Every structure is written in structure tokens, then in C-alpha cells.
Chain A
Amino acid sequence: MSTMTFGRAINAGLRRAMDEDPKVILMGEDIGKLGGVFRITDGLQKDFGAHRVLDSPLAEAAIMGTAVGMAYRGYRPVVEIQFDGFIYPAFDQIVCQVAKLHYRTQGAVRMPITIRVPFGGGIGSPEHHSESPEAYFTHTSGLRVISVSNPQDAYTMIQQAIRSDDPVLYFEPKRRYHVKGEVDEAVDPASSDMGAAHVVTRGTDVTLVTYGPLVPTARDAAIAASDDGVSIEVIDLRSLAPIDFATVEASVRKTGRLVVTHEAAQSGGLGAEIAASITERCFDYLEHAPVRVTGFDIPYPYSKLEFHHLPDLDRILDGVDRALRRPNSLSGPETEGAAL
């Protein structure tokens, strides 16, 4: 067991995957000598060579398209998209090729490509550097989408993503890169399932579902709520496509209330999918309509306003209050017990 930052944990996971499988190669902009703009690949080109850690010309579609060709040839490319908002030039190759080639070729061609995407806001960046585009990809059949929330998962799940024969988008919460945590580097990636959601805080009154950067915020919300006599069960989804609905469903059957929070915009987002699926699966157990606490349906705002956009502890607790029909921002203080 050792203590390391979130970013260092990804680096350690990449290193181990490259040590174990010579077909694992890294591709991306500035990932070689520089080690990436976030230093996630720091030292890897020096240790594994420029033929395994490729500094790519600045063309995301081409990085993805050449990764497809590498996968055809039997490699397991790990592509770094420098920032979330830069992924769109690669969207065609991801959606039309990476996601569909296995289906198109009736299983003959596998696409074991891992696409690392630093995502989410909160770092004061200009436009295109703080987005949460995960729903575009969870809506695309053929892709798996995961998001990590702590150093141990970051370490283990990057290896699981690379080992998967299906293409995996690996969303890294960039504002948590410097968070430290305990990492057991001896853990066998095969001993756990990257598709499983984790209950990170046990509770009985409300199920709070989230992933990636908002998991620590949700845990803080649960601590704050407990001071107020409210018991929140926090679920870290970890896998966004597919979602481990069995775990969410089991929790909601117990609590009867569901709150979903994510940084991405609300409409057509993952919160909508989770609310609909859980309503379908356990309608009779719900005491209140599912509540979404999300970013607004706006382009990601300039940095001085970003904390109005991003769900924080208080907005999450307000959503919890709505689910519990306690006084909240929509009901006002006088309407306790009123249905919303």
C-alpha cells in the first residue's frame, strides 16, 4: 500500500499495463517528453521508448483513426485526448469506427482501444477545457464508458480498461488529479469488475448516485446531512455504460428516494437515463420522483461563473431535501410536506 495522487495512480496503472503487455502503446498530443499537459504519462516515453509512447501530430480524428489501424494490427492503443472539449474532431472515428467495427465484422475485428479523457470543470480554464461529454458516448452502442473517482480505482480501472477487448472511454476528473489516496499496487485487476457500482457511504433515507469528480462532493454531502439527521447512501457508478442498475435498484428499494448528480448538462443526460431506468425498475418503491442536480443546459461558462454551473454540496443537499419533501429551494420554507 502506498500513498499517491490520483494522477500518479493513473501513471502507475499505465506503467504496469505496458510492462505486462508489449502490445500496449500510448498515443496523444504532448504525452512523450512533456508527459502530457497534466503529466499523467510522465516518464513513460523515457522508459518504454518513442515507439510505444507516440507524440502525435495535432489531429484528434487522426489519432483515433490511426489507433483503429493499430488495433487492426493487434495493438492495444491507449489514446489521450488532451482535454474533454477536444474530443469532437475524433467523434466520427469513435462513433462510426471504434464503436462499430466489432459489430460490423461480426466479431472478427476487436477494438481494444482505451480513450483517456480528462473531463469536468473547476480548474478555472477557458472554453473547451472543462466539459463533460460522457452522455454522447453512453448513447453510442459498442462503447464502454467508465469514470473514476479515487486513486485506487484510477490505478485498477485503467488496467481493466486496457485489458478489455471492447473500446473503453476512461473519464478522468481533472480537478481531482492532485487528490492523494492509498493505492494497493499489488491488486490484481482481474479480481474485480470495472462494471460494478460501489456503495461508498451506507444510508437509509435517500440514494445519491454520482460518478467521477462529484463523488467526493457527494460523500461530503452525506456527512453534512447526517448532522441533520438524514441518512444518505452514496453510490459511485464507476461504469456509465453499462450502468450497474442492480446496485442502484437495491439501494432505491431500501430508501425509496433517488437523487442523481453530475456536472454535465441536464437534458438528455445520464441523470435522465438513471431516473427513467430506476422508475421502470422500482416504481412501486419510490416515495418521490427522482431528482436531478446537474449542470445547466448551457455551454460551459467562463471560469468566474463556473461554480454557479457546477453542482456543489449545498445544491446536492437541496436536491436531497426535495426528494425528502423537506423545505427546499423550490418549495420554500413554508411548504414542508408538500408534494413537488
Chain B
Amino acid sequence: MPTALYRVILALLLLLPLAAHADDASDFAAANNSQQAQLLESWAAQPAPARIELINSLQQGQVTVDGQVKTLRLNNRLRGLIDTALASHQLLATDPKLRLNAAQQLQKNAKPAQLKFLDQQLATETDSDVHTALSLALANLQLVDPDPAVRLAAVRLLGETGEPLARTRLENLLQPGVETDATVHTAAETSLTQVKRKLLIGDLLGQAFSGLSLGSILLLAALGLAITFGLLGVINMAHGEMLMLGAYCTYCVQLLFQRFAPGAIEFYPLLALPVAFFVTAGVGMVLERTIIRHLYGRPLETLLATWGISLILIQLVRVMFGAQNVEVANPAWLSGGLQVLPNLVLPYNRLVIIVFALAVVVLTWLLLNKTRLGLNVRAVTQNRNMAACCGVPTGRVDMLAFGLGSGIAGLGGVALSQVGNVGPDLGQGYIIDSFLVVVLGGVGQLAGTVYAAFGLGIANKILEPQIGAVLGKILILGLIILFIQKRPQGLFALKGRVID
């Protein structure tokens, strides 16, 4: 009998998780908002592994009751609670990565009710990273512990991190009237200074990185222009539209992959590169042969005509794809980022673009300096008539050089599509900045363009947090005008007798 009873109880106990599961789902579906919140809070405080599936589907906004999928109406509060509950449950996972993510999540939004559970987990946690993260999450909660000794330990622990959240927590604690214990108060002040110092390093590095990132984007945008303007002397106001076309090529390639090769969609940007290059180079060459070639030696007219071209291209894209932005998604290997410091994440897409921009510069340099085409381009640049006499087909060289400049812009467009919105007006935002880069860098100098692009990018990002984006831009324009007073030919210019 006792054994029988024991078996029944055991069976019931074994069934309990399943039953709990089924009950939880129907309970949740039946409950009203405030009850749902209570449920979630209790789940977060006492997680059960069986509930993970349910909470996962809750996060998607769905719940399965009796085999039927119901869509839930969630408000922001509930969404937050679901996240907390999920994180709480994931602490039970076997994968340390999942546990780490969960612990980090809980640093932000753990509830006091979870204190006991976190304490238990901390005691059994074996992975050192997760342990640290978890102890921080716990420290956040312990700041309101009635025992000053616990609070003191928590404050000290927070001081050792470089977490942006630790700063807010400590600042809250230091609000007048919050912390009554003098020792804890002093310790909190020391901790806050420590945290701030660590955060400052991250901020500075972050600014430098976004400066580099902006610089690399400017470089991609301006490089093609440096070729068409610097080598051919053509002011191509439609250059921004070449960027835009490159971005739209990426969009189209993405659509094609979605339709015909959904399995390989991860790699669509790689195919988009050659497509964008050849499409924009083709467009560039057609424009050069039909319009721009008639305007050599008349730079102001070229400027107006190419502006006309840009208007037509913008409107064409608007008619074909609509005036709204189109969606270009990052593939998985370009999303996310590298966590260097608690407050410094380097997004993969930006890292890749920096490398890509430098690679394009190197390739362009090789093309211009080590190939026959490059030699021809330089010859035509220096003395068109003489080059023609030596048998250089100047017309063809012009066409190819213009195609090259446009093609590089197309490549830039692919890169831009991975970091910003893709719309018909995409190019307009870049054209003035790119021209400033070329003017600042000096005409016909790749090195100048590189320095100017990164210089402007970093200057922009340093000024931005101090005085705002707009004033920063205006200040930089002013600085460029003043700079040109000193060095009219740009950073890197050939000196010579013949300037005009």
C-alpha cells in the first residue's frame, strides 16, 4: 500500500509539469491583464523548465490552448514582464551563452520577487562570466535590501563594473533621502566615480569608432567622385544617385534571392556587389557617352546637366519602386555586434564596411597605378592631346574612367544599404558631404580623399555630442572654408607652375 500510494504520488508528480503547462497556458489565456501580470511575476520568481515553450510563444504574442493558437493582445508592461520571465527561465538552460544573455537581461529588469531565485542560481552557477553577470543582477536588487551591510556589498560590486545601468542605479541611490546609511552613501559615491571613469573610456572609443564608420561611408561615397572629378574634371551631381542605384540593386538582388534561392539569402550582399558595380558602371558609361562627353571643359554646364540627370534618376526610381523607403535586411552575419566593453558594441555591419572601404581604396589605387587602364587615365588627365597623339583612345578612356567612378559609387550604395534607409532620396544626403571630402582632400589625390573622409567623419562625431548634429555640420563647413584660406588646393595638392 505505501508503495502503491508512493507510486501514485510519483506519477502525479511526474505529470505535474505537463499539467502545469496545460494549466498555465489556459490560465494565462483566460486571465485579464492584471492577472496575467501577476502570473508572469510569479513565474519569474519560480521558474520551471517546462514553461519555457509557453513563454517563448507568449513572446511571439501567441498562446496555444487545446491545440488552438490564439493571438494575444499585449501591452508594453506585459511584454516587459514576459521578457523578465523568459530570462528567468533561461537561467535554467544548459547552454552558458543563453544563461549569460539571460543574466544580462535580468540586470536591467529583474524584480525584487526574484531575489531568492537569483541567490540560489548564483550559488550553483559554474560559468565565471555568468556568475559575474548574475551577481550584478543580484546586486541591483540588493540595493533596496533593508540590511545596510548587504547594500554596502552591492554598492561595491556595482562600482567594479563598467555598466551604464550601474550608473543609473547608483545615481538613483544617491538621490537625497534614498540612502540613509552614511557608509553606504560614501561607498556609493566612490563606486559612481569608478563607474563613470570606465564608462568614459567606452564612450570615447565609441565616438572614435562611429567616426571611423562615418568616415568609411564618406570615403565610399566620395571615392568615385574623386575619380570623376579629380581625374576627368567632371562635376557629377548625379553621383549621389549612383549610390542610390547601388542600394536599389542590393534591394533587387535581395528580392531575387528571396524568390529563387531562399536558402542562400545569407549571401545576397556578396552577389549584390558585382551586380551593383556593373549596373552603375553601365549607367555611368551610357551617361558619359550620351551627355557628359559633350560638356568637357565646361564644368559649370556639366554641373547643371548632371543635376538634371539626377532629377530624372530619382523620379525614375520613385515611379518604379515607389517614393517610400524599401526594406533591405541585414543578413545574420552582418547583424549584431562585437561587445568590447559593457557600453561599447561594435556592430558587425559597420566593421565590415570599414574593411570594405579600405579594400576598395586599395583596389582603386592598384587599378590606377598598376594597370594599363590606369596609365591611360593618368595620361589623359595630364595631357589629353598628347595622349591622343600617342594612340591612347581618349574617348574610351573617358568612358571607362567615368564608369569606374560610377561603379565604385555603386559599391558604396551596397554598403549604405546595410546601415541606413534605402529610398529615392538616399543620394541627395551624401552629395554635398562627398564634394566637401573631395575639396578638402585635394583634387586627384586618393590619399587626400582617404584622410579627408576619415578626418571629416571623426570631426563630425566628436562635435555631434557636444553641440548637436546640425551645429556640428555647420561648424565643420565653416572650418573647411577657413581651411581653404590656408590651403586652397586641399590637403594634398601637387605644386607646380601651371595652376590655372
Q: Do A and B bind each other?
A: no
Residues of A with Cβ closer than 8 Å to B? none
